[in-house]
């Protein structure tokens, strides 16, 4: 069956079609980075309005690229949460209206489940069970995944997420939005050992994270440099390298700790920060030492996209978790939603 999937939880509009047997047929994403750049972050009202403008043209493009028509769609999936309320409402409304007008079932999907299962869109598909490191936007979590829909929270951030630590630190350094990729690029020419930044909760007995202290340390370091004189380009590069190294160190250490505690040999990394080259390299080396494997989604699917939503819906259908005879066109969006609840 062909599943049409929609994603608009924040600042990307994504549409995709996944066939339950053939996999991903086509997908398209529009990023709002250029629009929000002038404000230094996502403006929810502007995000919602842009989703409205983009969703139907993207849908037509995806149908064309998949060589399908509207009549070929068998079910419609959409992100029901978590995310920005106005943004979520756009594709939730479009998806449910589309399904109602064609008497199709709807499949509401948890945004993080989409990320969690996105590495299964790679050529090498991880088998269950596995440990997953979710590092997406405002979320940093370690999950044990025994099957589709069977998720156990192992640890999560107590304050800022890793992505927020990247973006907020980058903003302190005067880098443009979104800061994470710019900070990683700046770090390439820096010395990660020049500044000793903290690794909050790295050696705590649990698997929780904390990154707010790191952001504060970056600010303190910058102020100290400013008092000593003009901050040079090399100063910024060194601080960026130290920041990236601290974040990767904590994420990597906790992930390997989770692997050892669980006794599992497969680690899945998903979400925007999963595109970080240093994090990928660190985890690949550490998992090799453990005799295990690490899986990542394709780089193009690390950020929010419709493919992960349509794919998650496909996996839920194949797992028998969706009643395709039900017609529910009044599903509410949820700005906050614990993944363990689904």
* pLDDT digit string, tens, across residues 62-92: 999 999 999 999 999 999 999 999 999 999 9
pLDDT digits (tens, 9 = 90+) for 13-35: 999 999 999 999 999 999 999 99
What would the two tokens of residue 240 be? 């960026």
State whether 17 and 58 are in the same domain.
yes
State whether 137 and 260 are in the same domain.
yes
Tell me the whole-structure pTM to 2 decimals: 0.94
| Structural domain that includes position 239 | 128-296
Torsions phi, psi for 269 (to 5 deg): -120, 130
User: Is residue 40 scored above 90 in pLDDT?
Assistant: no
Total domains in the fold of the chain? 2
Give the Å distances, CA to CA, from 152 to 114, 177, 250, 268.
16, 33, 21, 14
State whether 108 and 183 are in the same domain.
no
What would the two tokens of residue 113 be? 């489940």
State whether 11 and 39 are in the same domain.
yes
State whether 289 and 310 are in the same domain.
no
d(CA 155, CA 121) in angstroms, rounded, equals: 25
Q: 185: how many CB neighbours lie within 10 A of its CB?
A: 12
pLDDT digits (tens, 9 = 90+) for 97-137: 999 999 999 999 999 999 999 999 998 999 999 999 999 87
Q: List the binding residues for Fe cation.
A: 111, 115, 304
pLDDT band at 299 (very low <50, low <70, confident <90, very high): confident
d(CA 294, CA 280) in angstroms, rounded, equals: 9
pLDDT digits (tens, 9 = 90+) for 137-152: 788 999 999 999 999 9
Q: List the binding residues.
A: 111, 115, 134-138, 167, 180, 276, 304
pLDDT band at 255 (very low <50, low <70, confident <90, very high): very high
Is 233 part of any domain? yes
State whether 162 and 51 are in the same domain.
no
Is 289 part of any domain? yes
State whether 151 and 226 are in the same domain.
yes
Is 202 part of any domain? yes
Helices within the chain (DSSP H only): 33-37, 44-65, 85-101, 111-117, 162-172, 179-187, 212-228, 233-262, 277-289, 306-318
User: Is residue 338 scored above 90 in pLDDT?
Assistant: no
DSSP of 137-178: TTEEEEEEEEETTEEEEEEEBSSS-HHHHHHHHHHHTTPPSS
pLDDT digits (tens, 9 = 90+) for 194-240: 999 999 999 999 999 999 999 999 999 999 999 999 999 999 999 99
State whether 289 and 163 are in the same domain.
yes
Q: List the binding residues for substrate.
A: 134-138, 167, 180, 276
**What pLDDT does 251 receive?**
97
Residue 75 near residue 4, CB atoms below 8 Å = yes
State whether 65 and 136 are in the same domain.
no
Three-state DSSP state, 6: strand
Is 340 part of any domain? no
CATH code (residue 176): 3.30.420.40
State whether 94 and 136 are in the same domain.
no
Is 179 part of any domain? yes
**What pLDDT does 341 receive?**
81
Is 332 part of any domain? no
Q: What is the CA radius of gyration of the chain?
A: 20
**What pLDDT does 342 receive?**
83
Is 122 part of any domain? no
Is 101 part of any domain? yes
Q: Half-sphere exposure (CA, 13 Å, Cβ side) for 321?
A: 15
State whether 154 and 105 are in the same domain.
no
State whether 101 and 56 are in the same domain.
yes
């Amino acid at each position: 069956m062909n599943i049409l999937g929609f994603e608009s939880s924040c600042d990307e509009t994504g549409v995709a079609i996944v066939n339950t047997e053939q996999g991903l047929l086509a997908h398209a994403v529009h990023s709002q980075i250029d629009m929000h750049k002038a404000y230094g972050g996502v403006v929810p009202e502007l995000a919602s309005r842009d989703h409205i403008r983009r969703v139907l043209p993207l849908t037509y493009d995806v149908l064309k690229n998949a060589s399908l028509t509207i009549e070929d769609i068998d079910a419609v999936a959409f992100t029901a949460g978590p995310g920005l309320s106005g943004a979520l409402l756009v594709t939730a409304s479009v998806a449910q209206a589309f399904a109602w007008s064609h008497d199709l079932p709807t499949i509401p999907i948890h945004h993080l489940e989409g990320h969690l299962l996105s590495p299964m869109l790679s050529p090498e598909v991880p088998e269950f069970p596995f440990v997953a490191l979710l590092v997406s936007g405002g979320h940093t979590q370690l999950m044990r995944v025994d099957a589709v829909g069977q998720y156990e929270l192992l640890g999560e951030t107590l304050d800022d997420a890793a992505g927020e630590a990247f973006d907020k630190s980058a903003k302190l350094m005067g880098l443009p939005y979104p800061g994470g990729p710019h900070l990683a690029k700046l770090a390439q020419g820096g010395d990660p050992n020049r500044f000793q930044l903290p690794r909050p909760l790295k050696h705590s007995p649990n698997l929780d994270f904390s990154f707010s202290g790191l952001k504060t340390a970056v600010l303190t370091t910058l102020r100290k440099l400013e008092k000593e004189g003009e901050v040079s380009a090399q100063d910024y590069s060194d601080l960026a390298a130290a920041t990236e190294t601290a974040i990767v160190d904590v994420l990597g250490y906790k992930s390997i700790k989770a692997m050892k505690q669980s006794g599992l040999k497969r680690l899945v990394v998903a979400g925007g920060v999963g595109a970080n080259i240093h994090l990928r390299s660190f985890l690949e080396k550490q998992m090799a030492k453990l005799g295990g494997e690490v899986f990542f989604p394709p780089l193009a699917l690390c950020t929010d996209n419709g493919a992960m939503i349509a794919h998650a819906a496909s996996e839920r259908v194949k797992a028998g978790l969706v009643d395709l005879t039900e017609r529910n066109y009044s599903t509410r969006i949820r700005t906050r939603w614990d993944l363990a609840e689904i």
